[in-house]
Chain A
Amino acid sequence: MKPIRIITPTGHLGTTPLEKGSFERGCAQRPDYIIADSGSADIGPYPLGADRPASSEVWQRHDLEAMLVAARKLGIPMIIGSASDTGTNRGVDQYVRLIKEIAAQHKLAPFKLAAVYSEVPVSDLIHRVQAGETIAGLNGRPTADLALLKRTDRVVAVMGVEPIRAVLRDGADVIIAGRSGDCAIFAAPILNAGGGEADAYFCGKAMECASFCGEPFMGKETILGRVDSEGVFLTAMHPAQRCTPASVASHAMYERLNPFREYVPGGFLDMSRCRYEQVDEKTTRVTGQTFVADAETWIKLEGAGKVAERALFILGIRDPYTIANLDRAIDWTKGKLAERFGPVGGTYDVFYHDYGRGAVMGEMEPTPAKSPLEVGIVVEVTCDDAARAEVICHIAAKNLFYARLPDVKGTAGTAAIMSDEVLHARPAYEWTLNHIIKAKDQSEFFSTRFETIHA
């Protein structure tokens, strides 16, 4: 194969702006592709369910602009996966619009853009289930039934390499893809260049979070990846960062249940026999990965649906007696809520996140602090109706202020209110689908549109 070199400047385009210094150093290496992932299931079910970006458009534009201008200047393709956090059709269309605006602003010479869509209408899945197709649950989730699909507001299929390989073959200069497997957007051009599946997917897996595969810990810095007949090479572009066997190997297992396998449509990458070697100060070479092909093609489906409206209130407690009796104070307050609104967990729910005492880990906290000096409480109320959530949240917080405990010393309110306001939080969504469905081929759920962009 001919060697292929890719840079990636950010592990999640748009969350916070990419760092320009190491990106420019990466561009100076004259790479063959600039690639970045712009989405993640990490951001929770809200963006997909509500079909809204989690990132600010200002930062999305910042990163797209840096990448597009560099890619057109170098005359190399640019690939963005999981556009605008969700990879829904809205996300793809939004990024296509931004690309057009940036091209106009910089008066870029005409180029060929491919938009690859991956949203799947819920009604389509309902028809498939009615027709007897199976939507199998991952991680022990049950098979999707009609009730689950009815609770689902929006679904994306996670594309593998094939739809991206196809548009690259057709000459796309800029690819804006819907929801994509993180490593697929890197693997596609490597496969087209004649690389093996094992090296292609491994390179993608190592690069998808950019500088998270280097050390010391840095986010949003550029990484250069190279695949040739000698293996996969990863180089940190930030002057103070290195890719080492330890940093690359430890990233290879990042965010995954099992460190040895990465499942993609059509098979899985086996990393159990990988060898990691330092080849120069900033570069690590990886060899020994294998790919195990599957006879069947399964496509992953992600879906989310709305559960309830949310309202929040922030307060703090410094009184040691109240802190020592916080469970009683919260119980008293919940009792007051139940008197007025019916049982907690009925038409509404209330959560007291008591920071300082085990809020972060909840039931997994092995050593909850018994008498912290200070507790910060975030009161969260969920309810179908936004106005009612606000009313209940107001009382759920204020009554903590008035909680009646015997012997309480501070009689001017047992809680400190940061600011007397109910914060308007976005609604609660749930991940309804984390499932797979059998496909005829890797392209079945995806559609492509080409457009020539003239400044």
Chain B
Amino acid sequence: MKGGRRAMKPFRVLCPTGHLSFTPLEKGSFLLACGYGPDAIAADAGSCDMGPRPLGADEHVSLEAWQRHDLEVMLLQSRRLGIPMIVGSASDTGTDRGVDQFVALVRDIAKEHRLPPFRLAAIYSEVPVEELKRRLLRRERIEGLCGRPDAGLSILERTDRAVAVMDAEPMRQALAAGADVIIAGRSSDCAIFAAPLLHAGHDPANSYFLGKLMECASFCAEPYMAKESVMGWIDEGAVYVRAMHPDQRCTPLSVASHAMYERPNPYFEHVAGGCVDMTDCVYEQVDDKTTRVRGARFVTSPTYRMKIEGAGFVGHRRIAIVGIRDPDTIRLIDQAVAWARDKVAERFGPDGNSYRLHYHLYGRDGIMGPMEPRPVAAPQELCVVVESVSRDPQVAFEACALGSRNLFYARLPALKGTAGAAAMMSDEILIGEPGYEWTLNHVVMVSGPGDLVRTRHHRIADGAAWGIAR
């Protein structure tokens, strides 16, 4: 890397994966990147992308084998190079369970590889629902985001689990206290990368902005590849991102388009202590694989507000898969679905009482639903995924079975095929994961990050974690 020969070597952060363990990281580009002398390895392990179930049920969706794989690859290099490793939103959810699970995995891996002792900081950000209720009783506001109403007691009653989303500050403090490895609860994606940069003395604007660019790893590069490493650093007031896979490049276009990824507005990124303003950013290609960006600003918020995410159980889910090839049934599918819905309603009353029924019509508008601009009137083939949700598992089963098998018996005018208007892939009712809903996407006022976040320092030696009183 060209910048590497300067007298003051810029602080480099390496990101190997955009969502640790969602699928295993690609080792080739990561090990290549480790050869370029990174100063920290950081990765995000969670996301709201997977829907409310993991948080509500407090379960990880990634396989533990892959979590272990990614943590092992990262930990071994971090310890070999003697540089910090930071993982945020541990185990998909960033709940206390997730932090504890990752700490245990790190301890196991350290023991297995007989790693020399190191310091680990576990940062927890789960918020007991009771704590939120107490705030409500103290007349503190739990303010709704994105047009949601403020949270009242009823929404908290429907919440099984909540996490506060931390900014970089708790992680920066842990680094300042000498942590070699940080396992953090729910964190803003960009904060995980900003923490070591802030600790190295960089400004919040560029630190958070670089975090924003790097958090999905190779998604900020082209051509499209996932799970490949990217390297980022700050030098003379600008941020740099470089693709590490031999066939990938970070270009102004790929980086700018990623800067707007997953966000409603391309110019602002909010974190607990303020907001990154990207309005005036300028993107330039500096070498074949590297893009430089200048012009990010940070607007410190006058009040310190933390985002709260919460989820609660809605019901058991059952799923049936039905294919339709008959053009008449496809043309009249809405009537067939209405027939099946009526049969379910005859037994359990209207949809919304004790159950909910969803028909996903793949081939017509199964993905985009009412937003589909040109739903096909007559696709050649339809896949109907019938999904039921109910708090009573038996009702969920029956609603799904009636709602799918009755597609087979639907009485439609002008039906030529009377041996059943649908093809069952297999005549079975599949058991889905239970249904959850996002109950909280809110913010609360806090005196500082320490208000909802707790840090525990450990010394990992001989595979054991020793709590250090602080």
- Indicate if A touches B (C-beta under 8 A): yes
What is A's interface to B at a CB cutoff of 8 Å?
A: 15-17, 43-44, 46, 54, 56, 58-59, 212, 216-220, 254-255, 312, 314, 316-318, 353, 355-361, 367-369, 372-376, 378, 391, 394-395, 398-399, 402, 404, 406, 408, 411-412, 416, 418-421, 423-426
A-B contact list, 7 entries, CB within 8 Å: A58-B398, A355-B382, A359-B381, A360-B325, A374-B364, A376-B385, A416-B367
Given A56-B398, A360-B324, the answer on whether A420 and B51 have CB atoms closer than 8 Å is: yes
Taking the closest CB of chain B, its distance from the CB of A146, in whole angstroms, is 29
Q: How far is the CA of A17 from the CA of B348 in the complex (A)?
A: 13
CB of B51 within 8 A of CB of A314, answer no
CB of A404 within 8 A of CB of B224, answer yes
Neighbouring B residues of A426 by C-beta, 8 Å: 426, 428
Within 8 A of A (CB), among B402-461: 402, 405-406, 408-409, 411, 415, 418-419, 423, 425-428, 430-433
Neighbouring B residues of A15 by C-beta, 8 Å: 405
**Of all chain B residues, which has the CB nearest A211?**
B409
CB of B431 within 8 A of CB of A373, answer no
Neighbouring A residues of B360 by C-beta, 8 Å: 316, 376, 418
CB of B379 within 8 A of CB of A16, answer no
**Of all chain B residues, which has the CB nearest A378?**
B321
CB of B406 within 8 A of CB of A374, answer no
Given A218-B411, A421-B433, the answer on whether A372 and B325 have CB atoms closer than 8 Å is: no
Taking the closest CB of chain A, its distance from the CB of B464, in whole angstroms, is 29
CB of A314 within 8 A of CB of B385, answer yes
Chain B residues touching A, range: 35 or more
Q: Which of these, A58, A217, A254, A367, contacts B380 with CB under 8 Å?
A: A367
CB of B427 within 8 A of CB of A54, answer yes
**Of all chain A residues, which has the CB nearest B49?**
A420
Within 8 A of A (CB), among B297-354: 319, 321, 323-325, 343, 347
Q: Does B368 sit within 8 A of A, measured CB to CB?
A: yes
Q: Does B383 sit within 8 A of A, measured CB to CB?
A: yes
CB of A254 within 8 A of CB of B23, answer no
Q: How far is the CA of A399 from the CA of B66 in the complex (A)?
A: 14
Q: Which of these, B261, B321, B325, B379, contacts A374 with CB under 8 Å?
A: B379
**Of all chain A residues, which has the CB nearest B435?**
A419
CB of B219 within 8 A of CB of A411, answer yes
CB of A424 within 8 A of CB of B380, answer no
Given A356-B383, A360-B423, A420-B50, the answer on whether A374 and B411 have CB atoms closer than 8 Å is: no
Given A218-B411, A314-B321, A360-B423, the answer on whether A376 and B224 have CB atoms closer than 8 Å is: no
**Of all chain B residues, which has the CB nearest A58?**
B398
Neighbouring A residues of B402 by C-beta, 8 Å: 16
- Given A373-B363, A373-B375: 7 more A-B contacts, CB < 8 Å: A58-B394, A217-B415, A317-B367, A356-B379, A404-B223, A411-B222, A424-B431
Q: Does B208 sit within 8 A of A, measured CB to CB?
A: no
Neighbouring A residues of B430 by C-beta, 8 Å: 312, 423-425
Neighbouring B residues of A356 by C-beta, 8 Å: 362-363, 379-383
Q: Does B104 sit within 8 A of A, measured CB to CB?
A: no
Neighbouring B residues of A416 by C-beta, 8 Å: 367
What is B's interface to A at a CB cutoff of 8 Å?
A: 22-23, 50-51, 53, 61, 63, 65, 219, 222-227, 257, 261-262, 319, 321, 323-325, 343, 347, 360, 362-368, 372, 374-376, 379-383, 385, 394, 397-398, 401-402, 405-406, 408-409, 411, 415, 418-419, 423, 425-428, 430-433
Q: How far is the CA of A359 from the CA of B363 in the complex (A)?
A: 11
**Lowest 9 A-B CB distances belong to which pairs?**
A376-B362, A355-B383, A376-B383, A219-B409, A356-B363, A360-B323, A369-B380, A316-B367, A402-B226
Q: How far is the CA of A220 from the CA of B339 in the complex (A)?
A: 14
Q: Which of these, B63, B227, B415, B432, contacts A421 with CB under 8 Å?
A: B432
CB of A358 within 8 A of CB of B411, answer no
Neighbouring B residues of A408 by C-beta, 8 Å: 223-224
Neighbouring B residues of A373 by C-beta, 8 Å: 363-364, 372, 374-376, 379
Tell me the number of A-to-B contacts counted with CB atoms below 8 Å.
157
CB of B381 within 8 A of CB of A372, answer yes
Q: How far is the CA of A312 from the CA of B224 in the complex (A)?
A: 27
Q: How far is the CA of A369 from the CA of B379 in the complex (A)?
A: 8
Given A56-B401, A398-B23, A423-B432, the answer on whether A16 and B219 have CB atoms closer than 8 Å is: no
**Of all chain A residues, which has the CB nearest B368?**
A318
Neighbouring A residues of B219 by C-beta, 8 Å: 411-412
**Of all chain A residues, which has the CB nearest B224?**
A411
Taking the closest CB of chain A, its distance from the CB of B424, in whole angstroms, is 9
Neighbouring B residues of A411 by C-beta, 8 Å: 219, 222, 224, 257
CB of B22 within 8 A of CB of A398, answer yes
**Of all chain A residues, which has the CB nearest B364?**
A374
Q: How far is the CA of A434 from the CA of B395 in the complex (A)?
A: 36
Q: Which of these, B222, B409, B418, B432, contacts A16 with CB under 8 Å?
A: B409
Taking the closest CB of chain A, its distance from the CB of B259, in whole angstroms, is 13
Neighbouring B residues of A418 by C-beta, 8 Å: 360, 366, 385
Q: How far is the CA of A394 from the CA of B398 in the complex (A)?
A: 27
CB of A212 within 8 A of CB of B381, answer no
**Of all chain B residues, which has the CB nearest A405?**
B224
**Of all chain A residues, which has the CB nearest B319?**
A423
- Of A218, A398, A423, most buried by chain B (CB within 10 Å of CB) is A423
Neighbouring A residues of B374 by C-beta, 8 Å: 373
Q: How far is the CA of A317 from the CA of B383 in the complex (A)?
A: 12
Q: How far is the CA of A372 from the CA of B383 in the complex (A)?
A: 12
Q: How far is the CA of A418 from the CA of B321 in the complex (A)?
A: 13
Q: How far is the CA of A5 from the CA of B413 in the complex (A)?
A: 32
Q: How far is the CA of A218 from the CA of B222 in the complex (A)?
A: 56
Q: How far is the CA of A192 from the CA of B425 in the complex (A)?
A: 42
Q: How far is the CA of A419 from the CA of B366 in the complex (A)?
A: 13
- Of B372, B385, B406, most buried by chain A (CB within 10 Å of CB) is B385
Q: Which of these, A16, A44, A375, contacts B343 with CB under 8 Å?
A: A16
Q: Which of these, A16, A217, A404, A425, contacts B405 with CB under 8 Å?
A: A16
Q: How far is the CA of A368 from the CA of B347 in the complex (A)?
A: 39
Neighbouring B residues of A419 by C-beta, 8 Å: 51, 432-433
Q: How far is the CA of A314 from the CA of B135 in the complex (A)?
A: 41
Q: How far is the CA of A193 from the CA of B266 in the complex (A)?
A: 83
CB of A360 within 8 A of CB of B381, answer yes
Q: How far is the CA of A312 from the CA of B401 in the complex (A)?
A: 18
Neighbouring A residues of B362 by C-beta, 8 Å: 316, 355-356, 374-376
Q: How far is the CA of A58 from the CA of B347 in the complex (A)?
A: 12
Neighbouring A residues of B61 by C-beta, 8 Å: 420-421
Q: How far is the CA of A219 from the CA of B362 in the complex (A)?
A: 26
Q: How far is the CA of A363 from the CA of B401 in the complex (A)?
A: 29
Q: How far is the CA of A269 from the CA of B219 in the complex (A)?
A: 68
Q: How far is the CA of A353 from the CA of B219 in the complex (A)?
A: 28
**Of all chain B residues, which has the CB nearest A353?**
B425
Q: How far is the CA of A234 from the CA of B160 in the complex (A)?
A: 59
Q: How far is the CA of A358 from the CA of B325 in the complex (A)?
A: 9
Neighbouring B residues of A423 by C-beta, 8 Å: 319, 430-432
Neighbouring A residues of B262 by C-beta, 8 Å: 412
Q: How far is the CA of A353 from the CA of B321 in the complex (A)?
A: 11
- Of B23, B219, B405, B431, most buried by chain A (CB within 10 Å of CB) is B23
Neighbouring B residues of A404 by C-beta, 8 Å: 223-225
- Of A369, A374, A408, A418, most buried by chain B (CB within 10 Å of CB) is A374
Q: How far is the CA of A402 from the CA of B51 in the complex (A)?
A: 19
Taking the closest CB of chain B, its distance from the CB of A382, in whole angstroms, is 12
**Of all chain B residues, which has the CB nearest A424?**
B431
Taking the closest CB of chain B, its distance from the CB of A342, in whole angstroms, is 17
Q: Which of these, B65, B225, B381, B428, contacts A369 with CB under 8 Å?
A: B381
Taking the closest CB of chain B, its distance from the CB of A383, in whole angstroms, is 15
Taking the closest CB of chain B, its distance from the CB of A320, in whole angstroms, is 11
Q: Which of these, B226, B323, B405, B428, contacts A355 with CB under 8 Å?
A: B323
Taking the closest CB of chain B, its distance from the CB of A375, in whole angstroms, is 7
